[in-house]
Structure 1
Amino acid sequence: MSGAEMTSDPWLILLVIVPLLAAPVCVLLRSATGAWSVATAVAWSVFAISLKLLDTVMDQGVVRYRIGGWDAPWGIEYRLDSVGVFVVLIVSAIAAVILPYAKRSVEKEIRKDRIYLFYAMLLLCLTGLLGITVTGDAFNLFVFLEISSLSSYVLISLGTDRRALTAAFRYLIMGTLGATFYIIGVGLLYQTTGTLNIADLKTIMPAVIDTRTVHAALAFLTVGISLKLALFPLHMWLPNAYTFAPGAVTAFLASTATKVSAYILLRIIFTLFGDVDLFASFPLQPILITMALAAMFLASLSAIWQENVKRMMAYSSIAQIGYIVLGIAMATETGLTGGIIHMFNHALIKGSAFMAIGAVVFSTGAVTLTQMEGIGKRMPYTMAAFVIAGLGLIGVPLTPGFISKWQLVTAAMELNMWPLAALILLSSLLAVIYVWRVFEVAYLRPAPEGAPAAQEVPLSMLLPIWVMVLAALYFGSNATFTLNLAHTAALQLMGGL
């Protein structure tokens, strides 16, 4: 093992411990303002730690931390490389921006006596998502997966609409199935190899890849993570969950949770099975490409017909997951770069969109297209942010969506898969239709008589929205940093093939 890989960094454990310990503090405070202050301070602290770790990883390579001082595979090891640090940066940055926005939004959407619970659950969810990213142990990953999932169920159920409870219950059922499939796969691998350390599993895998047990384990792992990822056709929990959850919850989960699930899929294919060419041994590539294309087209078509704008954006998220999985499935340097950078770009775009919708709901209660007629003139700054996010979903130049889709189209052409490149472009045109529907009612229709008064949301909500939008515009027009980071991550993953 190289000296860079042996680097021990205590900041890794702090990334997980700080939000984990802060969650019960929010419960003990039982104060909405106090809990918000703690959660916001923790989110920004975690973001600062992630920047520190980014600098360390870029300078030294892989960093690790041994829990209790035990060497892997006997003990649990936290590891962070260029792939993981990119996801850590996404999760921590989104949390840091959304928490200032959440204060006023949550006060209106969640019962006052439950607000402190919201912040406790958000911190637990943050703990789980970051833990998934840094752990080097397959079972420990399951533990963090459940921490993030269980807290997500509670966050969704806190919505004032009674349908939020049904949505949370459906998510619970589907999420439990996904977690069960994942842990069965891990159990089968442990039965065959006697280890749970992902790096250790990677070295053993070539010797056992031809066994029926490992084949079954791969199937269970892939299906389980696809459920968590909401990859078509295993996506049925997502539309209602995003539609009926409080606005801040939807913005946070849409920007982070599915990205972390995509990261797990990357780890399974390119790290755990990294010394085995899965795409040569199994029909995994055509299956993933087919599911990705189905998501890109069918989810986009579903989005076009939605009247509820939150549900429209939820189906859009399923379509965007398809682009990420397509990049993974192409299994080339350019394709992986496109898939990885789209995790970052989509987090910015969809975070901006859902925060803008949440602002409209906060100001007017409007969530359907009919209710939003003329809203562009009454809430110009909020709707301008939504339109920019919509252009990003389409993939218009100077938006981050263009960077991602150009990478994917380039990857398809490098593989001489011209029909696939055409399908990527065609699916992007479907986004034009549903984004145009919102633009048309917001700007080209007059406000109906008797429409509720609308005014811009407080600066504490508007400013985070525009921080996200301006970040999206910056990384859409100057993608050197993110492309380099995604390319380094792709090279590191491809080195495992």
Structure 2
Amino acid sequence: MNLADHLPALQVAVPLLTAPLVILLRAGFLAWLTALVASLASLGLAILLTVAVLETGTQEYYVGGWEPPYGIALSVDGLSALVLLLITGASSLALAGGRQSLRLDIDNRRAPMFYGAWLIAMAGLCGIAVTGDAFNVFVFMEISSLATYILIAAGRDRRALSAVFKYLIIGTIGATFYLIGVGFIYMMTGTLNFADMALRLDDVIETRPVIIAAGFITIGLALKAAIFPLHIWLPRAYTYAPNAVTVFIAACSTKVAIYVLLRFNFTVFHGNLLGHSDLFSVFIIPLALSGILLASAIAIYQGNVKKMLAFSSVAQIGYIALAAGLASQAGLMAALLHMFNHALAKGTLFLCVLAFILTSRSAIITDLHGIGRRMPWTMAAFVLAGLSLIGVPGTAGFISKWYLIVAVMEVPGWGVPLVMAIIASSLMAVVYLWKFIEAAYYGEPPPGGDTAALEVTLPLRALIWVAALSNVYFGLFPQLPLALAQSGTGTLLGGLN
């Protein structure tokens, strides 16, 4: 067995084993550099796994050589590969671009522990994506959640403490609901392996514990994914977390919860529970539409650019949930594509906001008046990512919204109203993004404010533009996300498309 055979295990082992080393380091710079190298190595592993999946299919790894259902299996398919790219890419982008910001946000003496927690959070998220075991999902979920609480609360803004307390309570409820559901399924099937679980459910179809399990798991993961109105932890967590942490978690954390939600509802329950698809749609689509419209409307009235983008994330999660709720091949394609494209856009936007805060020391829109004239390169990247978020042709966001519109038009009798809701939300996105863009370009700086040009350093500016241009690249050349989304859709629907 060569090294390539161990890639799924290494995806978790590299950041997890590097974390103790980082904690032992004394200098903040060395801790950051080691964490960045580990994150880039994990990104490299994710790329290798993606290539392997696209070339040869699902990559399996049996821990200790024990095959399932007796042993724990790690499995990476197209869906897992997409999520791994989001996690490791977001971590690498946030660490590489957040060095200067983190020096201001994190006390140097605590930096090694902070970067150790960062790697543990990434390892937990990667573990969720690669494991084929339902209970291990819970274990990795708790590992990543506990580490993420530390990351959010580690900054100098004391408001993060109340935000993380709310996140902890909601996250614990979500994890508990998920665990209760898994317990019911184990009671009825005697297995925790996803594939084996789906097979054995045929023998206990329509039993009450399995139906209850589906409800508990769906609600628990909807809490974790911040699907409206179960999103109450997200706006404050994104707003008051250290800026680099916001870049990381906004791009990938809710996507991982959505990944598990899709994995359970389409590979375990779909096809086993009679009418489950209809029940899932009835539950998720109204919540998704509420999030798309109401969260977009709330974002318009925010005076803090981070909170504005946080409510925007709730609306964008609504797009993903709406597409998944259609329970069709076209809908799942749209959902997976939007997971990828929203991560690109929102990671870029929050990285630009990080740069604005570096120079202005504020995320309040009135304090950022005129910032577009003083930071033209960074502001131009913000506009470009904003166009992708809106779904302008030529950007990545247009691809997933187009697939979503095609998917909803297949719904008998509801196609036109659903398209109108999508267009209305996109127009509201124009409004709240223009609110900030107008202030940035045409607003007058506050009295006593600095009016001189104050662009961030060239390396950070270059990284911002790499992220911004990726929104255009994947809009013009979407073959990679399309291939992963198609593979993931085949997995979710059992290859019956």
TM-score by length of 2: 0.96
Give 3-state SS (helix, strand or coil) of 2:157's partner.
Answer: coil
Q: Are 2:397 and 1:401 equivalent residues in the alignment?
A: yes
The residue type equivalent to 2:482 in the other structure is: L
Which residue number in structure 2 is paired with residue 42 of structure 1? 38
Q: Aligned in 2, Cα 1:8/1:380: closer, same or farther, shift over 3 Å?
A: closer
Match of 1:29 among 13, 25, 28: 25
Q: 1:214 to 1:473 in 2, by over 3 A?
A: same
C-alpha separation between the residues in 2 aligned to 1:141 and 1:116?
Answer: 27
Q: Can you list the C-alpha shifts for 1:361-405, whole angstroms capped at 9, x where unaligned?
A: 111112111101111001111111111111111111111111111
Residue 316 (1) aligns with residue 316 (2): no
Who is 1:361 aligned against?
357
Q: How many angstroms apart in 1 are the aligned matches of 2:330 and 2:275?
A: 17
Q: 2:217 & 2:432 partners in 1: Cα distance?
A: 34
d(CA) in 1 for partners of 2:470, 2:386: 15
- What secondary structure is seen at the aligned counterpart in 2 of 1:414? coil
Aligned residue in 1 for 2:464:
465
Find 1:110's aligned residue among 91, 106, 111. 106
How many residues were matched structurally? 491
For residue 436 of structure 1, the aligned residue among 410, 418, 434 is 434
Q: Is the 8 A contact 2:336 2:485 kept in 1?
A: yes
Aligned AA (1:462):
R
1:345 maps to 341
Report if aligned partners of 1:400, 1:476 keep a CA contact under 8 Å in 2.
Answer: yes
Q: Aligned partners of 1:483 and 1:179: how far apart in 2?
A: 31
Please report how far the alpha carbon of residue 276 of structure 1 lies from its aligned counterpart in structure 2 after TM superposition. 2.2
Q: CA deviation at 1:40?
A: 1.0
Uncovered stretches (5+) of structure 1, i.e. residues with no partner: 1-6
User: Retained in 2: the 8 A contact 1:95–1:252?
Assistant: yes
Partner in structure 2 of residue 69 of structure 1: 65
Shift of 1:8: 8.8
Q: Give the Cα–Cα distance (whole angstroms) in 1 for the partners of residues 7 and 482 of structure 2.
A: 25
Relative to structure 1, the CA distance from residue 281 to residue 275 in structure 2 (aligned partners, 3 Å threshold; closer, same or farther) is closer
The aligned amino acid for 2:421 is L
Could you tell me how far 1:433 is from its partner in structure 2?
0.6
Contact 1:296–1:318, Cα closer than 8 Å, also in 2: yes
Equivalent-residue separation in structure 1 for 2:335 and 2:29 (angstroms): 39
Q: Which residue of 2 aligns with 1:486?
A: 485
- Residue by residue, what CA displacement relative to the aligned partner does 1:284-308 show, whole Å, maximum 9, x if unpaired? 2122110100110111011000001
Change (3 A) 1:233 1:90: same
> For the residues of structure 1 that align with 2:273 and 2:495, how far apart are their CA atoms?
9
Tell me what 2:324 maps to: 328
Distance 1:281 1:402, change over 3 A: closer
Residue aligning to 1:3? none
Shift, 1:445, TM fit = 1.7
Question: Partner of 1:476 in structure 2?
Answer: 475
Give, in angstroms, the shift of residue 160 of structure 1.
1.0
Where does residue 420 of structure 2 map in the other structure?
A: 422
Partners in 2 of 1:58 and 1:440 — Cα distance?
Answer: 43
The offset of 1:186, in angstroms, is: 0.6
Q: 1:159 aligns with which of 155, 165, 178?
A: 155
Cα distance, 1:400–1:281 mapped onto 2, change above 3 Å: closer
Alignment TM-score, normalising by the size of structure 1:
0.96
Show structure 2 runs of 5+ residues with no match.
none
Structure-to-structure mapping, 1:262-273, within 5 angstroms: 262-273=258-269
Structure 2 letter corresponding to 1:400: A
Who is 2:373 aligned against? 377
Partners of 2:98 and 2:468 in 1: how far apart? 17
Given that 1:278 and 1:284 are in contact with CA atoms closer than 8 Å, whether structure 2 keeps it comes out as: no
1:390 correspondence with 2:389: no
- 1:212 aligned residue: 208
Correspondence for 1:284 among 280, 284, 287 = 280
1:9-44 CA distance string (max 9 Å, x none):
211100100100001111111321111111111111
Equivalent residue number for residue 4 of structure 1: none
